[in-house]
Copies of this chain bind each other. A is one copy, B any other.
């Protein structure tokens, strides 16, 4: 294989890795923007988040196309094959994280029309725990750092515990004041979304581990459910 072809192959892998960094940052921005819209009761900002999810969906498709093209034209082996495989899985997880941020924005539109629910103040902490996990998972991927990826998976348990605490708190609010029931339900689904974002961060960490180590992390782990 001549030097030119090898170089161009490396460029394609770099491009895919760069696209993952980019789609990851888009998803992080969406989480933050959705939280701001929710806490600031800013319906216009929430609508912007809903619209912006489309760009994430499109970039995920572009990444899948790029991966398929590399697979078909370059027949990558070993580590290179794991690079494109990880890109495929990670971009799918990031796309779901984007969906969950969009869902948060949609729920904030519903919450905007209801009396303010004091339980809402538990949300920012959950959201930052979830987005830290995503940020750290993406950094572990960017650095190809298996140990950092492992730490993300272990820290997801903290987020699960915090979600459980918030669920209990919301149940108490609902039992004490019937008028809060429907907004508490919205907040529960929002808390659940953060738990799911944490699960996707864990998936990203697992894909990163596999990419670097060439073998899967064992499936078993303690769950904070």
Contact = CB atoms under 8 A, between A and B. Distances in A.
Interface of A: 54, 57-58, 61, 68, 71-72, 75, 77-78, 81-82, 85, 88-89, 92, 106, 167, 171, 174-175, 178, 181-182, 185, 188-189, 192, 216, 219, 225
B92 A68 contact: no
Contacts of A175: 178, 181
Q: How many copies does the complex hold?
A: 2
Contact of A216 (B61, B171, B181): B61
A72 B61 contact: no
A68 B83 CA distance: 12
With most chain B CB atoms within 10 A of its CB, the pick from A68, A81, A89, A185 is: A185
B188 A185 contact: yes
B57 A85 contact: no
A89 B71 CA distance: 15
Nearest to A103: B225
Given A174-B174, A178-B178, A71 B61 contact: no
B81 A72 contact: yes
A81 B68 contact: yes
Contacts of A72: 77-78, 81
Contacts of A78: 72
A174 B106 CA distance: 23
A77 to B, nearest CB: 5
Contact of A225 (B58, B77, B106, B188): B106
Contacts of A178: 175, 178
A178 B175 CA distance: 6
Contacts of A71: 71, 81, 85
A193 to B, nearest CB: 10
